[in-house]
Amino acid sequence: MSSFNRIVHESSDQVGSATGRVYGVLKQEILTCQLAPGIRIYEGDIAKRLDVSKTPVREALGMLVHEGLVEVKPRQGYRVTDVTLADVQEVFHMRLLLEPAAAELAAERATAEQLQELRSLVEADENTALSDQVWQPSRFHATLAEASGNSRLAATLRNLVEEMQRLHFMGLDVEDSVAVYAVEHRELVDALLKGNHHLAGEIARRQVETSRMRVFEAILASLSGTGDRGAADQVKLRPVNK
């Protein structure tokens, strides 16, 4: 099972079977931009496509609204939320606040099983298929957050990382190779194994800052020459045709 499918599967298991299946399918389609930012979603169309009644579709959409991936427009129904520069800035602000804290807690609380899983994820980076490169690092961050021992912190960070994943599937070249991931994550795992919470926090903070720089460089490159004169923070990002 791919890292992405594992994440969606775990989320789907937390709700009823029909609702969970619809939720899992729609969330995957939104995060991979099969349902692109700004597109409208119709309950009837989804129900027919997935061969379910409208009730689980409505329940699943309600869950996605709560997560901020879908919004309800008066007299217009549901639509996939846009991704703006302001959204990206807010996500990174939150990650800078939370990921170093999660790393520091993980250095003190991570179980032997969690540390082994983090090591295995780093080692697996080198053998990750191209189609799954986005999700393997995401699984690393989700496991790190869980290792903090704070379930609310872990849930918040998981949602933040999922939001960032849409940028990859929008065609933005926002990250370096899997090899770069492996080097950065290996440094963090080494600090966790030593139980050095100060070092773990600093490494996590540096990684988020570096990621933010890569992301905004990619976004600016994609926007160059578009002639967009709108407020910079409210520029809506769209899938890039390559």
Measured CA to CA, the distance from residue 77 to residue 206 in angstroms comes to 41
Whether the full predicted model's pTM is greater than 0.85, yes or no, is no
- 103 Cβ contact list (under 8 Å, min separation 6): 144, 148, 188, 191, 192, 197, 200, 201, 203, 204
Q: Is 146 exposed, middle or buried (0-12, 13-18, 19+ CB in 10 A)?
A: buried
Calculate the alpha carbon distances from 63 to 5, 19, 56, 71, 239 in Å. 18, 10, 11, 11, 24
Residues of the chain with CATH 1.10.10.10: 3-81
* Cα angle: 94, vertex 22, 128; to 5 degrees: 60
Give the percent of the chain with pLDDT over 90.
Answer: 52
pLDDT for residue 240: 60
Spatial CA neighbour of 105 closest among 65, 72, 151, 162: 151
- Taking phi first (over 0 means left), then psi (-120 to 50 degrees means alpha), and beta for anything else, what does residue 81 get? beta
Residues of the chain with CATH 1.20.120.530: 84-237
Spatial CA neighbour of 133 closest among 144, 125, 142, 122: 125
Pair 7, 145: CB distance under 8 Å: no
- Arithmetic mean of pLDDT over the chain: 83
Mean local confidence (pLDDT), 186-205: 96
| Residue 71 phi, psi dihedral angles, 5° rounding | -130, 155
Mean local confidence (pLDDT), 215-242: 67
Looking at the domain that runs over 3-81, which CATH code has it been given? 1.10.10.10
Least confident of 107-121, 131-145, 191-205: 131-145
Homologous superfamily of 84-237: GntR ligand-binding domain-like (1.20.120.530)
User: What are 137-163's pLDDT values in tens digits?
Assistant: 678 898 999 999 999 999 999 988 888
Sheet bearing 77-80, strands edge to edge: 40-41, 77-80, 70-73
Calculate the alpha carbon distances from 117 to 75, 145, 216 in Å. 47, 13, 30
**Residue 1 scores a pLDDT above 50:** no
Q: How confident is the model at residue 241 (pLDDT cuts 50, 70, 90)?
A: low
Mean local confidence (pLDDT), 54-79: 93
Least confident of 1-5, 39-43, 116-120: 1-5
pLDDT for residue 179: 63
Query: Which amino acid, 62?
Result: G
pLDDT for residue 219: 83
Measured CA to CA, the distance from residue 10 to residue 27 in angstroms comes to 12
